[in-house]
Chain A
Amino acid sequence: DIVMTQTPLSLSVNPGQPASISCKSSESLLHSDGKTYLYWYLQKPGQPPQLLLYEVSSRFSGVPDRFSGSGSGTDFTLKISRVEAEDVGVYYCLQSLQFPRTFGPGTKVDIK
């Protein structure tokens, strides 16, 4: 199974300041089709998760451009350029390269 790790596991950020979350996979997530099957989700308090980024860096419909993703192979990063109050919650990375699909443990982000 591919193991997903995230750092940090919690993050407290001042509004308007940037934030960064790292996600690492135990194997490369690059498929032979050229796509990298790494996704980012945000679970706001009391809500189901919502897709933020797919295939490392593509923003899903309606996701603000303050969210960006980068990385390749086994190392990936989610960046929020200026954190807003509505960005609080738990961020998860997911690999969909192979079964079983595996999520990272989550990074809890709150506002100072």
Chain B
Amino acid sequence: EVQLLESGGGLVQPGGSLRLSCAASGFTFGSYAMTWVRQGPGKGLEWVSTIYDTTHKTAYADSVKGRFTISRDNSKNTLYLQMNSLRAEDTAVYYCVKGGWRYDNWGRGTLVTVSS
């Protein structure tokens, strides 16, 4: 069974940083692209970033480009999202998602709140 467990969310002041992690199990992590999708309070889904499996090629939404960095450690079956220069509008539940175009499985998400 595929499991994706996010961690690292919390309350942070504007301009601060957080690092999200996603521990994956139940599939061959290194063979899949992985994605972060976020959902602001009461809002719809927003794609944030994708990292490919072997090339580690990355893509970012314009809203986070230059501030967020996606990475992965295939030896630890773990996906990361380093978030810097956080803004109030980054407040959201962040979902770890298996896949680069077909999002088969989603974690339960971790809440990031950016507020002073």
Contacts and interface: CB of A to CB of B under 8 A. Distances in A.
Interface of A: 37, 39, 41, 43, 47-51, 54-55, 60, 90, 92, 94, 96, 99-106
Nearest to B44: A106
Contacts, number: 52
Interface of B: 35, 37, 44-47, 50, 59, 61-62, 95, 100-109
A103 B103 CA distance: 12
Majority SS at the chain A contact face: loop
A100 B45 contact: no
A54 B37 CA distance: 18
Contact of B95 (A48, A55, A92, A99): A48
Contact of B102 (A47, A96, A99, A106): A96
B3 to A, nearest CB: 12
B102 A105 contact: no
Contact of B103 (A51, A55, A90): A51
Contact of A48 (B62, B101, B102, B109): B109
